[in-house]
Amino acid sequence: MIGLVKVLEEKMVPLIVVKKLLEDKKGEMSYIQQATLDYARKFTKIKCDNLDEIFKKLKDIGLSEEIIIQLLNIAPETIEELRTILVRERKIFKTEELEEILNLLNNIRS
């Protein structure tokens, strides 16, 4: 019989957080956990340094949590790439704000 797991909380997190959680996991991993860890290792584009601080700064710029997570997962390198992600915010960003966002992402890029 398969043991049931009760979900206590569901929350979106960046891929780097998934990677860290699985790497810190004690004991044997299931096939899905191992596959997820392999994926996270392959596609994580940022370092975990100062992640909370970067998240807060991006929030202060006026970005939603969902968009921040996408920015951390995709780590756009140009203003054009950034604009394609930010279009969902339904807000017009000044060039200075876009440059600030890119600078924050560049500081944690791996």
**Confidence category of residue 23, pLDDT binned at 50, 70, 90:** very high
Which residues neighbour 109 within 8 Å (Cβ) at sequence distance 6 or greater?
Answer: 45, 46, 47, 75
What does the block give as tokens for 22? 């699985």
Contact of 110 with 44, CB cutoff 8 Å: yes
The angle formed by the CA atoms of residues 57, 70 and 108, to the nearest 5 degrees, is 50
Nearest to 15 by CA among 26, 54, 83, 38: 38
DSSP alpha helix (H) spans, the chain: 15-23, 31-43, 51-61, 65-74, 79-86, 95-108
The reported pTM is 0.83
The string of pLDDT tens digits covering residues 55-77 is: 999 999 999 999 999 999 999 99
The string of pLDDT tens digits covering residues 28-55 is: 989 999 999 999 999 999 887 788 899 9
